[in-house]
Structure 1
Amino acid sequence: MHSIAIGFLALFTAASTALADGQTHYVGSEEAERAFWSELYTSGGDTLYCAASFNGMDTNLVASAVYSVRQIRRSLRCATTNQCAIKTPKYLYMVGDLHNLYPSQKEIEEELQNAQFTEIDEAQAKRIGVGDCELKTDFKAFEPADHAKGNAARAILYMHHEYKLPLPGPLEMFQRWHRLDPVDAMERIRNDRIASLQGTRNLFIDDPDAVERLGIP
């Protein structure tokens, strides 16, 4: 746990009920990442962007924030953990939310650092390869493979819905990705596990039609 988390725990625990919903169990990314590997993915699973199987914690993997910490900070108009936690008591809960974390290879995270989700024209796309996985990128932009688009979209929409964060891309694009890659059994199991760990569920996994209702007056 970041040392800052201890100092602000009492502050934002008291304030959290007056803020947006979301989880109030994991305080900061380090605490969430420990639970991510030791409880959520203790038996392994598949990485998000490359669908690469793994067995338990792997030093070549990271817990990747789909709605990135950089994007959260930009949305809150703060620059550091300390500054963000003071300005927005819910901040450490945002970065510690398991619904927003997926396994990813370190090489992928390095390649996609600060990139934003988008749809990239084939003529402009560059492709980066990590093992057997090939990803479509452009300058500070990234389009996931079709098999990952729904999971990514529903994680983004969860963060938007629970914490009132702005969407880092057009709503219509995330709705298309949701339709292209519907909720599957493994995503439902993951949602159940996260609910048992941190006490919140992803609405858009439980009720996929809720995605289509977004943006309707």
Structure 2
Amino acid sequence: MKLRTFVTAAIGLVSIITMTTYAAAPSSFSSAKRLAESEVYYDQDETFYCGCDFDFEGGPDLASCGYDVRKQPLRASRIEWEHVVPAYDIGRQRQCWQEGGRRHCRSSDPIFRQAEADLINLVPSVGEVNGDRSNLRYGMATSSSAYQYGQCTAKVDFEEDVFQPPTNQRGDVARTYWYMRDEYGVRISRQQQQLFTAWAKQDPVDAWEKERNQRITAIQGSGNPYVSENRDPSRQVMPDRQPTPSSLISRDSTAFSCSTRKTCGAMASCEEARFHLEQCGNGRLDRDKDGVPCEAMCR
């Protein structure tokens, strides 16, 4: 269970002392993973989606959470760091991604590197779940082929390109997305915004989420205001350092709608395809994950 009484007076005192001296923010995804293990999750022993007992060396205890392996037992035996907001969603609207994908963004775009290494966006996960989720959008898994990992109530729905987090982590997901939206310009479709608002109400901030945010603030110098300040999620901040390229967004997007998930064959124009990829989160339109939907039409 995520809610637990691990926050003792001693830990609280350490947090207060630590907050007075900020450490250097991680400079890369590799350094972020090391800091997350040693400075944020050093006394935590449950995975984010499934609540499996784990340690970083031994991996997850799948029996502790009733986890059923879907397909990859080797990957399920290790702990991996999950980006709640996938690197794909961070990078796909940036010029570096259009030019060479994630590797090129790492080497050429300091803002992408900062976003990829942001500790607020990293959580420990069973490796198989991290791999299955990949860059699927969050939502409700409704198809008959959706897979639930045994007693772990997370579900992956490859038919609908959806990953459904468990109830007790849905608010954490929403607040992380709002932070990444405000800090790095990550776009959230109208439908997802409505879903996240409902999730945040169902799963309010708890003791561990607050403590985690304090520890990250001590490292990075700032935390997630949706956790610490209960900020209004409807207040969308798109920082000047992260403008969305005008070539990627329709100037008359009101002509399109997310009400129906379309295939490339049903698109009337590249502009409509981009709207459905970027505003509606229809990842099926970008099969090779390079940020360009319906390539026969958009290239």
TM-score range, shorter chain: 0.7 to 0.9
**Equivalent AA in structure 2 for residue 146 of structure 1:** T
* Aligned-partner Cα distance in 2 for 1:146–1:47: 14
Alignment check: 8 A CA contact 2:82 2:123 kept: yes
Q: Give, in angstroms, the shift of residue 198 of structure 1.
A: 1.3
Tell me, yes or no, if structure 1 residue 187 matches structure 2 residue 209.
Answer: yes
**Identical pairs, percent:** 27
1:126 aligns with 2:146: yes
- Find the counterpart in structure 2 of residue 41 from structure 1: 41
Out of 100, 114, 118, the position equivalent to 2:121 is: 100
Aligned AA for 2:121?
A: N
Query: TM-score, normalising length from structure 2?
Result: 0.58
RMSD, aligned α-carbons = 2.4
Q: Aligned pair in 2 of structure 1 residues 57, 44: CA closer, same or farther (>3 Å)?
A: farther
Query: Unaligned regions of 5+ residues in structure 2, if any?
Result: 1-23, 60-77, 238-299
Any idea what SS the aligned residue of 2:25 has? coil
Q: Return the index of the structure with the highest Cα Rg.
A: 2
Assess, with a 3 A threshold, how the Cα gap between structure 1 residues 57 and 192 changes in structure 2: closer, same or farther: farther
Which amino acid letter does the alignment assign opposite residue 80 of structure 2?
A: V
- Write the deviation string for residues 39-80 of structure 1: whole angstroms up to 9, x where unpaired: 211223321111223345544111110001122221325043
Consecutive unaligned residues of structure 1, counting only runs of 5 or more, are 1-23
Instruction: Give the equivalent residue in structure 2 for 1:150.
Output: 171
Please say if 1:205 is aligned against 2:227: yes
How far, CA to CA, are the matches of 1:58 and 1:203 in structure 2?
34
In terms of fraction of residues, the more strand-rich structure is 1
1:135 aligns with 154
Partner deviation per Cα, 1:153-177 (whole Å, 9 max, x = no partner): 1111111111122126621111111
Residue pair 2:141, 2:156 contacting (<8 A) in 1 also: yes
Q: Cα distance 1:51–1:199, how it changes in 2: closer, same or farther (>3 A)?
A: same
Q: Which residue, out of 93, 116, 131, partners 1:110?
A: 131
Identify if the C-alpha distance between structure 1 residues 52 and 212 changes in structure 2 by more than 3 Å, giving closer, same or farther: farther
Q: Using a 3 Å threshold, how does the CA distance of structure 1 residues 206 and 57 change in structure 2: closer, same or farther? A: farther
* Aligned length in residues: 191
One-letter amino acid of the structure 2 residue matched with residue 175 of structure 1: T
Rounded to whole Å, the distance in 2 between the matches of 1:105 and 1:56 is 11
Q: Which amino acid aligns with 2:28?
A: G
Partner of 1:74: 92
Following the alignment from structure 1 to structure 2, what is the Cα–Cα distance between the partners of residues 145 and 51?
10
**Distance in 2 of aligned mates of 1:211 and 1:125:** 33
Give secondary structure in 2 for the equivalent of 1:46: coil
Going from structure 1 to structure 2, the CA distance change for 1:110 and 1:83 (only over 3 Å counts) comes to: closer
AA aligned to 1:94 is: A
Which whole-Å CA distance do the structure 2 matches of 1:36 and 1:73 have between them? 22
